[in-house]
C-alpha cells in the first residue's frame, strides 16, 4: 500500500503527463491520424487557407450547417475564404472517434466565437462527421451540425 506521505510533489506534477501519455497510447494510430486532421481543420477554420482546406476534405464532401445550409467541397472552401463563416477561439470537446474500415465516425461539441455581424456571438453546436481514408490520407467526407437546445 502506498501512503500519500511517500508521494513527492514531483511525482504529483508528472501525473497529468502520464495520464495524457496513456490516453494517447490507448488510441489507435488511425484514431490519432484522424484527431490530427480534425485539429488541422480546427486551426484552419480560424485562419483560413484554401490549399489546406482543399487537402482536408474529399471531392465528395457534403457539409451541412446547423442552419440546414448544405455545401459541397467548393462551397465549403468558399465559405471560409469569403468569411461567410468567420470564427475565433474554436474549442472542441467530448470528441469520440470510431474507426470502421476506411471510415472514421467522429462526434464532438464545438464552441467558437463568431466574428461575423448578425451571427450569435458564440456558436455552440454538436457535430457528426465521417472521414474517409483516401490514398493514405484522412479526408472529411460528410459533416452534419446541430444546434444545442437552450
Q: Give the domain extent around 50.
A: 29-147
* Mean pLDDT within 24-47: 91
Instruction: Please say whether the beta carbons of 106 and 129 come within 8 A.
Output: yes
* Mean pLDDT within 98-125: 95
Q: Is the residue at 12 inside a domain?
A: no
The per-residue pLDDT for 149 is 79
The per-residue pLDDT for 117 is 87
Q: What is the pTM of this model?
A: 0.80
Q: Is the residue at 6 inside a domain?
A: no
Q: Is the residue at 53 inside a domain?
A: yes
Of 97 and 19, more confident: 97
Average pLDDT for the chain: 88
The per-residue pLDDT for 26 is 64
Report the CATH number that the domain containing residue 136 is assigned in CATH.
3.10.450.50
pLDDT digits (tens, 9 = 90+) for 61-102: 999 999 899 999 999 999 999 999 999 999 999 999 999 999
Sheet of 70-71, strands arranged across: 70-71, 57-64, 137-147, 122-134, 103-114, 87-100
By C-alpha distance, which of 77, 84, 78, 75 is closest to 118?
84
Q: How many domains does the chain have?
A: 1
Q: Is the residue at 88 inside a domain?
A: yes
Q: Is the residue at 116 inside a domain?
A: yes
Q: Is the residue at 9 inside a domain?
A: no
Q: Is the residue at 17 inside a domain?
A: no
Amino acid at each position: 500500500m502506498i501512503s500519500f506521505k511517500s508521494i513527492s510533489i514531483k511525482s504529483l506534477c508528472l501525473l497529468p503527463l502520464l495520464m495524457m501519455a496513456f490516453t494517447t497510447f490507448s488510441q489507435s494510430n488511425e484514431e490519432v491520424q484522424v484527431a490530427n486532421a480534425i485539429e488541422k481543420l480546427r486551426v484552419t477554420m480560424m485562419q483560413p487557407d484554401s490549399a489546406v482546406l482543399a487537402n482536408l476534405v474529399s471531392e465528395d464532401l457534403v457539409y451541412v450547417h446547423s442552419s440546414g445550409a448544405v455545401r459541397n467541397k467548393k462551397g465549403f472552401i468558399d465559405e471560409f475564404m469569403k468569411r461567410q463563416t468567420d470564427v475565433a477561439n474554436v474549442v472542441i470537446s467530448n470528441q469520440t472517434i470510431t474507426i470502421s474500415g476506411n471510415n472514421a465516425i467522429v462526434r464532438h461539441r464545438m464552441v467558437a466565437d463568431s466574428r461575423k455581424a448578425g451571427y450569435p456571438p458564440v456558436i455552440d453546436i454538436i457535430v457528426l462527421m465521417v472521414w474517409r481514408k483516401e490514398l493514405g490520407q484522412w479526408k472529411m467526407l460528410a459533416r452534419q451540425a446541430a444546434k444545442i437546445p437552450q
